[in-house]
Amino acid sequence: MLEATKIKSSAIEKVKKPTHVRFLVLFVVCLIYLITYLDRVNISIAAPFMMAEFGLSKMEWGLVLSVFSWTYAMAQVPVGMLCDKYGARKTLSIIVTWWSVFTVATSWAWNTISLVVVRLLFGLGEGGAFPSATRALAHWIPATERGFAQGLTHGFSRFGGAVTPMIAAFIISMLGWRACFEIFSVIGLIWAAVWWFWFRDTPKEYQKKWGQISNSEINLIRGTDAAVEPKAKPKLAFKQLLKSKNAWFLCLSYPTYCYTVWIFMTWLPSYLVEARGFNLLQMGFFASLPLLAGTIGDTLGGLISDKIWKKTGNGKLARRIVPMTGMLIAAAFMIPGALTESAYMAVFFMACSLFGLEMAVGVYWATCLDIGNDYAGTISGFMNTIGNIGSALSPLVFGAVLQITGSWIYPFIVASSILVIGAMLWLKVNPEMKIADELHLH
């Protein structure tokens, strides 16, 4: 009896000790951000071989790259709403499995039509990833850590984009482009199985299932956000969401970011080969450098924004100044990157540009959490839907301008100009205005 009492006392004491389960949750969420970019960037590395096999022009290839964004955008709000209703555990498990199946299905394409259909279905699956992951973090990350969390998650996505050229180029050189999609698909399937088995939607549910989270950590998370534990809440209808000026300014700025970052994801590999003269393996290395710089920008942007908020208590300043500065840096470095005669300096300038651009992305998504709370999945889905109008137009417009002018310079000038507009729109975003308060959802 005495021994049993000691064991029970020890267990209680263990629960009392501070834990950091939220950081483990954050890490696992970061992995799915990485996987999303492994699976969406690999097609850009395979581009020269797929274009040759299917006989596609640059404008036609731009269409193939673009169709992913069509269904990706369509899925944002519906999946975000489903995630708000059913939870991130169920939602992410299903959609990651879905897009992993269509990753391998890309390798089965036998003509242009089959390729377009598969990429449409692939985009439909990936479309819910970021809103669902954002919703997962809404229950696990306190407000003063959200900029860092969102910066880190998107840093992992850029790291995924950075390592993909090297990995994909190696696989393609050894086994062909179809093997690249077959191998990458397995990673997502493994993640989905782990997520379903291990993750729980709230800290309390996790404590009930696994026990290894302290009450002090739960209180830390709950203390900064009343939305941490699910409770009855008014429904946010899509028509109501459209009345939010705050959400609209955020969502109108985001496509300028998406337009530009998608250039780096889709056209940069071809640019380095055709305009700068790199071979396949060289391209795999040099295409990774801007994305690695972007990884650093992702994490730093979120950290700086959080620190400004903690130090000043001014959410508007903290969330506005970082993305505005980063986007203007990106616009400034993109032009010399296109104009310089040196291939290596072009890579350097593009790396500086993407570093600045990626300082913004964590703050965009942290702001969805700031204003959304219990509606974070819906808000982030809405933002990403509008954002992906930019993503969808980007490869098409870039390819069209390139084909019409015959110059790689003008497409980058267009992107730089768009970024300046996006930076200015941040002046109208108020991260301290909760959507529930703005729309009187009480």
Taking a C-beta distance cutoff of 8 angstroms, is the pair 149, 26 a contact?
Answer: yes
- Predicted confidence at residue 139, as pLDDT, reads 84
Domains of the chain, by residue range, sit at 21-438
Phi, psi of 408 (to 5 degrees): -80, -10
- Predicted confidence at residue 236, as pLDDT, reads 66
- Predicted confidence at residue 6, as pLDDT, reads 47
- Predicted confidence at residue 73, as pLDDT, reads 81
- Predicted confidence at residue 234, as pLDDT, reads 61
- Predicted confidence at residue 8, as pLDDT, reads 42
- CA distance linking residue 127 with residue 108, whole number of Å: 22
- Mean of per-residue pLDDT scores for the chain: 85
Residue-wise pLDDT for 163-201, tens only, equals 888 899 889 989 999 999 999 999 999 999 999 999 988
Taking a C-beta distance cutoff of 8 angstroms, is the pair 246, 429 a contact?
Answer: yes
CB-CB neighbours of 89 under 10 Å: 20
Closest to 143 in 3D by CA, of 77, 221, 203, 75: 221
- Predicted confidence at residue 270, as pLDDT, reads 82
- Predicted confidence at residue 4, as pLDDT, reads 47
Take residue 306 and report the two structure tokens written for it: 């959080």
- CA distance linking residue 435 with residue 214, whole number of Å: 31
CB-CB neighbours of 240 under 10 Å: 17
Contacts of 4 (CB under 8 A, 6+ apart): none
- State the first-to-last Cα distance of the chain, in angstroms, to the nearest integer: 52
pLDDT tops 70 at residue 226: no
Q: Among the listed ranges 80-89, 216-225, 228-237, which one has the minimum average pLDDT value? A: 228-237
Q: What is the CA radius of gyration of the chain?
A: 22
Take residue 372 and report the two structure tokens written for it: 């959304």
User: Any idea which residue has 């870039």 for tokens?
Assistant: 398
Confidence of residue 304 (pLDDT cuts 50, 70, 90): very high
DSSP for 41-78, please give it: HHHHHSHHHHHHHHT--HHHHHHHHHHHHHHHHHHHHH
Taking a C-beta distance cutoff of 8 angstroms, is the pair 26, 137 a contact?
Answer: yes
Phi, psi of 237 (to 5 degrees): -75, 150
pTM score > 0.85 for this model? no
Residue-wise pLDDT for 384-424, tens only, equals 889 888 988 888 899 889 888 988 999 999 999 999 999 99
Confidence of residue 225 (pLDDT cuts 50, 70, 90): very low
CA dihedral 433, 439, 440, 442 (to 10 degrees): -90
Please state the CATH superfamily assignment of the domain spanning residues 21-438 in this structure. MFS general substrate transporter like domains (1.20.1250.20)
Residue-wise pLDDT for 124-145, tens only, equals 999 889 889 988 888 888 877 8
- Predicted confidence at residue 98, as pLDDT, reads 95
pLDDT tops 50 at residue 222: yes
pLDDT tops 80 at residue 227: no
Q: How far is CA 390 from CA 35, 191, 316, 319, 386, in A?
A: 22, 29, 25, 22, 8
Check residues 91 and 265 and name the one with the higher pLDDT.
91
Give Cα 187 to chain centroid, integer Å: 18
Collapsing DSSP to helix, strand or coil, 212 comes out as coil
Q: Largest Cα–Cα distance in the chain?
A: 85
Q: How far is CA 209 from CA 10, 78, 176, 342, in A?
A: 19, 29, 45, 58
